[in-house]
Chain A
């Protein structure tokens, strides 16, 4: 049916191999040819923090989780813990789990908000098994046996190069071809479509569809699409990512840690045999040397060969133009605060499979792809910006990070929440109502008023069963294995 018989993917990072394996797997019976031009260089950070959707992607690819954990040294992720975003001793969690459970059709967090407006603020984390387990360094997979044990989900921390190699092996087993080389030139057909890639050794690689996973240079897409990029640097002022390997932590918790600095923020995430750390900052406020020094000081024993990359936060206006798509950092460059960078690539791949072109000229498919994926991408941008907007940390850098007028859709969301505690979601958003609740409550952002219907429906009398719930969550968490033990036993 499809006139697209061959696809070439440029790049060799995890997103490239994920795209290759997914396309090959989806169209294996149609004998779609998939080839990766492996540029054999990566500017991605040492490790990635992911979202729970990766599990679904793996299962579509036939990747078994224990095998993946064992072979890549990945660890589990129940939450992100943000330190210092409101002054040095502050902390909050964004966990992949429910907060309490619905009461008469109303989410439990609204009950907590309502209590808070009456001066009875409670710690919402105490109502989340994911949060309590993550804080205590415990982990187990969710189980359907009770409402509590099925109240959460999880993601992974993955070592970038090991993971890319693992995906490569999987993709090659599925029949993906691989060519190593450097891109020298792009050969265009009369129509303006890409006809072939010309490598430095003179080899020509022809295909019907091209995918650029070459990282933020977008070495292919930038030659195809003349459409400008959308620049987000007014909202997201960081322009550097520094990334390093760090010694394994003694009792690593199943979470990604971020720590706000005077300028920018540090991250740490556990891996089975080591750990990864990084620093996102603005070169306008901090020199690269000073940043490296700061990361070394903060993370004892971190590797000397740090990877310093320039961030140009923003996205391509057209993520798919003519017969060429950009995926991963080539499409969207955003600091990894929300841990959604790989997820954006996964969404791109899934949407491409759904809209796989019938003809080489795929004007309509490209239009629809750009609409859908663009919406998702913008929702990640908004979610990331919200971490800064809601932060109250003082200082010149932090003031600058909050200075710009927000994108209208984010302003609308925050306005409505502050005015009524309602969290409205647009059609295509990556983070759902609960994710937003975690961040809003975590930042102690309380609404001015609560909807009258919520107030009318919820009984505010003191409830003993809530104390019982908190206790059983605390108790259940302690029965879960230590995170690293779980990785070793069940990986």
Chain B
């Protein structure tokens, strides 16, 4: 029997504890020895409050109880993301976690919709999405398992306090035998012949040896960059924002089952409702606005009273050249940063960890495996990147320099081809792996006024009157179903309400 794999995780934010929990749950105790180093003196970023439906698979895979988790993390349900004032001031659309309509005659739904739209008689596309109609009505219930049911056409995610999620995972991990080490890393010892990391030296003088080091130290990349000098590809030319300011505020009005991103004069503002407070922030480019001005603008636009002073963050959008280098794997911000416009931060952590667990072999880190893992992560980051750029580029507003820049910038070829094909005939490019399926692309294209000039000729092989009738009945069914759904607040109060004491202590 081999000795267990010694895994050392550096950093205890969301990424660190997600990694710890996943390793502890996925591998038998005799195969792994997991330790996590964190220091109470180093703050975590912890702005990631909005998630994607994938997180439920992560939670299920490691064996978390969803209701318990929601009540311990002040979580609300999330059916999508609302984008306000993007293509033009006054525009709004939701990117839903679910389908628009369903195929008719083997032809994708949106192709039929485009035919109607070009003829000038289409209902808003939102009316064909159950999660959008439900979101705007502040309704929520769990999706159905029966694929024939309309209630199976959507998924959901959470809006939660990421630091509470990390705390929750810490408890879970420690019960599974993960050892937490308090303190700061002051030295890294590398093996002479190949530079692999052998051990970390703590401020206390203790030495922590390991076989595999997971760098969850955040932007600075303690091991992946400061020690191994892996390098970083910057994407600021396409995604110009480089700072954010965050401030929580009191909740006012009902809890919306969606996150909102509003385009502003130098970036965009987020609004994420949790049970006990509203998360707010402004992601911006320091080239276009000053820190003081941005904070002032954000505070003036809050719906409720602020409950903490604004916190500033700096970042460089891009990707680490290799997520896995020697025996160090960067997970989370140390492996790259993409702004939270599409709530992808926790997804990228999750995929980095679950893929690592699937790729990892027993006793050695074979370069063939390392290369394959890095290619996979590169694909994940690049696909998210292109999707984000679409939001910045498909813009008509010309009221601010940042939007003029983004509208005119040159975009990656992969995205340019995609956009051209959609404009020409509503054609979507699909892929097997990586984030964002067809409805996501449809939502953002149409929501940002990328309207196809033509549609799939197969549409005209069907009887239009029959198709129109079919479309109308889809809309009616959705509207009727949503009427019968419970209010989000009400459903939440039965499913995963936060313990009252916690609401009091962390709220107003």
Contacts and interface: CB of A to CB of B under 8 A. Distances in A.
Contacts of A250: none
A31 B462 CA distance: 12
Interface string B337-371: 00000000000000000000111111110101101
A449 B363 contact: yes
Interface stretch (A9-17, A186-194, A340-348, A418-426): A418-426
A452 B427 contact: no
Nearest to B31: A456
Interface stretch (B416-424, B435-443, B478-486, B492-500): B416-424
A1 B457 contact: yes
> Which of A354, A356, A419, A424 is packed against the most chain B CB atoms within 10 Å?
A419
> Which of B5, B368, B376, B456 is packed against the most chain A CB atoms within 10 Å?
B368
Contacts of B429: 368
Contacts of B459: 1
Contacts of B424: 358, 364
Interface string A139-174: 000000000000000000000000000000000000
B18 to A, nearest CB: 16
Given A364-B420, A412-B375, A415-B372, A27 B461 contact: yes
Contacts, number: 104
A427 interface: yes
A419 B366 contact: yes
B461 A29 contact: yes
A29 B460 contact: yes
Contacts of B363: 449
B368 A358 contact: no
A30 B457 contact: yes
Contacts of B460: 1-2, 29-30
A353 B364 CA distance: 49
How many B residues are at the interface, by size bracket?
Answer: 35 or more
Contacts of A450: 361-362
Nearest to B431: A427
A419 B458 contact: no
A449 B366 contact: yes
Contacts of A368: 417, 421, 427, 429
Contacts of A394: none
A412 B420 CA distance: 31
A368 B427 CA distance: 10
Contact of A449 (B362, B427, B431): B362
Contacts of A26: 458, 461
B57 to A, nearest CB: 11
A427 B437 CA distance: 13
B26 A456 contact: yes
B425 A358 contact: yes
B432 interface: yes
A308 to B, nearest CB: 40
Nearest to B425: A358
Contacts of B364: 449
A118 to B, nearest CB: 12
How many A residues are at the interface, by size bracket?
Answer: 35 or more
A87 interface: no
A356 B359 contact: no
Interface in A160-209: none
Contacts of A476: none
B372 A412 contact: yes
B184 to A, nearest CB: 30
A150 to B, nearest CB: 18
A66 interface: no
A465 to B, nearest CB: 22
A415 B374 CA distance: 14
A455 interface: yes
B379 to A, nearest CB: 9
A367 interface: yes
B28 A456 contact: yes
B27 A416 contact: no
A485 B194 CA distance: 65
B461 A364 contact: no
Contacts of B156: none
B362 A455 contact: yes
Contacts of A1: 454-455, 457, 459-460
19 contacts: A1-B459, A2-B460, A26-B458, A27-B458, A30-B461, A355-B427, A368-B427, A415-B368, A415-B371, A416-B369, A416-B372, A422-B372, A427-B431, A449-B364, A450-B361, A453-B358, A453-B360, A456-B31, A457-B26
Given A451-B359, A452-B27, A455-B362, 4 more contacts: A364-B420, A368-B417, A449-B366, A453-B357
Interface of B: 5, 26-28, 31, 357-364, 366, 368-369, 371-372, 375-376, 417, 420-421, 424-425, 427, 429, 431-433, 454-462
